[in-house]
Amino acid sequence: MEVLVFGGTVEGRQIVEWLEARGTCKVVACTATDYGARLLEGGSHVTVLRGPLSQDDKRHLMESHDFECVVDATHPYATHISQSIAELAQAYGKDVVRVVRDPAQEGTWVSVRDAHEAAAHLSRVPGNILLTTGSKDLATYVEALADYRDRLFIRILPVMAALDHADKLGIPTSHVIAMQGPCSEDLNKALIRQLDISWLVTKQSGASGGFEEKIRAAEDCGIGLVVISRPCEEEGLTFEEALIALEERYGL
């Protein structure tokens, strides 16, 4: 049997590793970045496709394989990708196992809908900022914060595309922390104290995204927390439920 996994997340990598360890199927794993692909390489029954894949690429993939099912373990904020995966699977009569993260309980933080609202709030308050939402929306914060070169510190993946993007936007190299998350509570607290952070910005990414560790670190250090809410409530299975479904429903 063959299984198609769209990943690039902690859950996606763990599902690929779980399937590889069981040895019940061959896996085709798709990830949008070279970095994500490197984390999945090495399995004897795993073929890694580094994307992003065009719609024609995806159709060719479905037509050249007889997948038992499709696993969507993409990021909870990548709703457009999940929608395209669902439409693709439906067109070829394949089931989708959508892996979703348990949302954290609402807490005492500033909740915003997107990066634009987060940047607008930060432009009205003083203090250094630790941005932990990646490099995609960096320009939004740069445009909103006149003093971003002094206030804004960013934690991004250690890949050239992200580093080049930050450099082109004029973010000082001393304000760039290039590392793979999720980070521990202690590491978050160390960065907050070392950089004299007043505000930490994060997405509501769930336990596997290190959200709880950021909350506890911010609370312990007495700083403000800006949380970008999820685009919408998703239907799907938790990581543990997805493993049960793959085993019991598909015999994997």
Q: What does the pLDDT look like over 198-252, one tens digit per residue?
A: 999 998 866 556 888 998 999 999 999 999 987 656 678 888 889 999 999 988 8
The model carries a pTM of 0.60
What is the model's pLDDT at position 125?
A: 92
Nearest 10 degrees: CA dihedral of 56, 59, 61, 62?
Answer: 180
CA angle 30, 207, 68 (to 5 degrees): 35
- Can you list the residues of the chain whose pLDDT is less than 70? 42, 77, 102-108, 205-209, 231-234
What's the longest Cα–Cα distance across the chain? Answer: 56
What is the model's pLDDT at position 6?
A: 92
What is the model's pLDDT at position 226?
A: 93
**94: β partners:** none
What is the model's pLDDT at position 108?
A: 67
What is the model's pLDDT at position 53?
A: 85
Cα 111 from Cα 125, distance rounded (Å): 15
What is the model's pLDDT at position 123?
A: 94
